[in-house]
């Protein structure tokens, strides 16, 4: 039997072999986007940083895996031009070219609920005109709403634009009630507000805080003409959030330890932190640090928080979670000619072509790989694969006539049961800020008080906030890297 080792470290070795400089040290717990961001920001400011991640990879819930000859993303992740933090992250890890933005917002929307029985195509797209005129032409011709409904949408958008996002009362009301008061029909909610809101909030309007919904629509659609232009990875997510992120961390001098679980945090009388870890059969290790950033989910954070760190730590347990389901279909022929589309009149929500990014195109065997992204998937998340196949393949054939008669080479499912925090009314008062009541301890994660819903943008922002708070407490100069949308 191997005797467990117990060691204590205060720094880490530089990737280039040079001795680390003396100075303040930090430990970041969690290797998702929040943790990676915090570690980079702290290291860039001159701290000696150790990043600990329990999984065998970085990237949190935005990752890739192998299935046969293909590289599969666990789910379809997108960002918008207004996501200045995630765009900064892509630049920081030298990956911007691999996740380009649309030149201009253009979303094909297929409705299979039309009386003709044939899919009817509409588009949500913008022009270069100033806000709110940039969407006026698209809304005026949007075929999935009546003329009266389009006019009412315009009025509601102007009312939404006038809301004060700093008003705490917005957090207490659900978005659906506000939409109803502002003349939005059930069809308008389905064909426009939920079309966007479910994908960004991971909840329908009736389960969404007005505050978070208003933030999404004001920032994405009513701030700058190009704010809602969509970007997504044209390579596997693991290339961005694991491979390139790890290279950036190494270059910054961060010591990164994977397959390492943190078991306890304690603070000594001299104000320094002790971080106890387990790393498989290698035993235990204790790291000492001047600052610790907890960048893990809320329940894991609650379990690690020392007494007194938050006035009411149990409020973290009140932040509920929401699931996302992804269906992966490999056809034997091309069935979709657009890079993606959204659907109405069908349980299908958003469909993306992942043929190139998965490596299928490079195999030269033909076929097409589609990823079907299903947010707020409470009803489907636990359905057996056979039931999901029977439910969704016919729906794809309704939406895509070219899929009728096409062979299905593979059908599989990825499930994220706790994909995001649930943006329910009242969640805002539960989300903690980055600093805690205990000096040297900071929180990060999309579930913290970023003002954003649970997105890659929110995760990166939380990492920036936690690092900034730590550097401020340590008296280190720090330049905030983000440019806010107008």
DSSP secondary structure, 235-295, as one string:
S-HHIIIIIIHHHHHHHHT-EEE-S-EEEEEEE-TTS-EEEEEE-GGGEEEEEEESEEEE-
Going by pLDDT thresholds of 50, 70 and 90, the confidence category of residue 8 is: very low
The annotation places the binding site for FAD at: 262
Secondary-structure breakdown of the chain: helix, strand, coil percentages, each rounded to the nearest 5: 35, 25, 40
User: Residue 3 is encoded by which pair of tokens?
Assistant: 């005797």
CB 259 within 8 A of CB 49: no
Q: Which of 110-114, 209-213, 462-466 has the lowest mean pLDDT?
A: 110-114
Could you report the per-residue pLDDT of 382-419, keeping only the tens digit for each? 999 999 999 999 999 999 999 999 999 999 999 999 99
* pLDDT beyond 60 at 11: no
User: Per this entry, what is the length of the chain?
Assistant: 486
Average pLDDT over residues 452-477: 96
- Mean pLDDT, the chain, integer: 93
Predicted confidence at residue 480, as pLDDT, reads 77
Average pLDDT over residues 464-468: 97
* pLDDT beyond 60 at 124: yes
Average pLDDT over residues 353-381: 96
Q: How far apart are CA 149 and CA 24, in angstroms?
A: 59
* pLDDT beyond 70 at 163: yes
Angle between helical axes of 456-473 and 33-44 (0-180°, round to 10): 30
Q: How far apart are CA 212 and CA 293, in angstroms?
A: 25
Predicted confidence at residue 199, as pLDDT, reads 97
Provide, rounded to the nearest whole percent, the portion of the chain with pLDDT above 90: 89
Predicted confidence at residue 198, as pLDDT, reads 98
| Structure-token match 């666990």, residue found | 74
Predicted confidence at residue 172, as pLDDT, reads 97
Q: Annotate 81-103 with three-state secondary structure.
A: CCCHHHHHHHHHCCCHHHCCECC
Predicted confidence at residue 463, as pLDDT, reads 98
What is the tally of helices (H) and strands (E) in the chain? 15, 20
Beta-bridged to residue 50, according to DSSP, are 27, 255
Q: The pTM is what?
A: 0.93
Predicted confidence at residue 483, as pLDDT, reads 60
Predicted confidence at residue 280, as pLDDT, reads 76
The annotation places the binding site at: 262
Could you report the per-residue pLDDT of 269-298, keeping only the tens digit for each? 999 999 999 987 768 899 999 999 999 999
The H or E element containing residue 417 is strand 408-421
Predicted confidence at residue 1, as pLDDT, reads 33
Provide, rounded to the nearest whole percent, the portion of the chain with pLDDT above 70: 94
> Environment class of residue 411 by beta-carbon count within 10 Å: exposed (0-12), middle (13-18) or buried (19+)?
middle
Q: How far apart are the first and last CA of the chain?
A: 61
Predicted confidence at residue 5, as pLDDT, reads 34
Going by pLDDT thresholds of 50, 70 and 90, the confidence category of residue 113 is: confident
Q: How far apart are CA 125 and CA 449, in angstroms?
A: 31
Closest C-alpha to 408, from 326, 328, 352, 342:
328
Predicted confidence at residue 186, as pLDDT, reads 97
């Amino acid at each position: 039997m191997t005797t467990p080792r117990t060691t204590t470290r205060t720094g880490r070795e530089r990737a280039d072999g040079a001795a680390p400089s003396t100075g303040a040290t930090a430990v970041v717990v969690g290797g998702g986007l929040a943790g990676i961001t915090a570690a980079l920001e702290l290291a860039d400011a001159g701290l000696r940083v150790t990043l600990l991640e329990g999984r065998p990879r970085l990237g949190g819930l935005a990752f890739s895996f192998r299935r046969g000859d293909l590289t599969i993303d666990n789910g379809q992740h997108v960002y918008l031009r207004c996501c200045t933090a995630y765009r900064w992250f892509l630049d920081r890890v030298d990956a911007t070219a691999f996740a380009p933005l649309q030149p201009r917002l253009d979303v094909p929307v297929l409705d299979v609920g039309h009386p003709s029985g044939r899919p009817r195509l509409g588009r949500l797209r913008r022009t270069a005109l100033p806000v709110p005129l940039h969407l006026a032409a698209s809304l005026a011709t949007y075929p999935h709403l009546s003329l009266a409904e389009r006019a009412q949408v315009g009025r509601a958008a102007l009312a939404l634009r006038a809301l004060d996002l700093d008003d705490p009362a917005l957090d207490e009301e659900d978005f659906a009630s506000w939409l109803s008061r502002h003349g939005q029909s059930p069809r308008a909610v389905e064909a426009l507000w939920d079309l966007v809101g479910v994908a960004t909030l991971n909840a329908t309007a009736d389960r969404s805080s007005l505050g978070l919904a208003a933030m999404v629509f004001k920032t994405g659609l009513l701030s700058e003409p190009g704010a809602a232009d969509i970007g997504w990875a044209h390579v596997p997510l693991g290339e961005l959030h694991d491979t390139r992120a790890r290279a950036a961390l190494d270059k910054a001098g961060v010591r990164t330890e994977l397959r390492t679980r943190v078991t306890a945090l304690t603070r000594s009388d001299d104000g320094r932190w002790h971080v106890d870890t387990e790393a498989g059969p290698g035993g235990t290790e204790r790291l000492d640090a001047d600052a610790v950033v907890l960048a893990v989910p809320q329940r894991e954070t609650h379990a690690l928080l020392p007494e007194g760190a938050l006035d009411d730590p149990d409020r973290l347990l009140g932040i509920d979670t929401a699931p996302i389901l992804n269906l992966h279909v490999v056809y034997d022929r091309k069935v979709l000619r657009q890079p993606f589309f959204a659907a109405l009149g069908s349980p299908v929500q958003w469909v993306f072509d992942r043929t190139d990014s998965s490596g299928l195109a490079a195999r030269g065997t033909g076929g097409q790989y589609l990823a079907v992204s299903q947010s707020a998937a409470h009803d489907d998340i636990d359905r057996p694969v056979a039931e999901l196949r029977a439910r969704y393949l016919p729906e794809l054939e309704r939406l895509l006539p070219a899929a009728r008669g096409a062979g299905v080479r593979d059908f599989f499912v990825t499930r994220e049961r706790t994909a995001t925090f649930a943006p329910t009314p009242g969640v805002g008062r539960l989300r903690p800020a980055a600093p805690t009541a205990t000096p040297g301890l900071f929180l990060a994660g999309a579930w913290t008080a970023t003002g954003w819903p649970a997105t890659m943008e929110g995760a990166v922002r939380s990492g920036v906030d936690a690092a900034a708070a730590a550097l401020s407490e340590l008296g280190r100069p720090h330049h905030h890297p983000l440019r806010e949308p107008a």
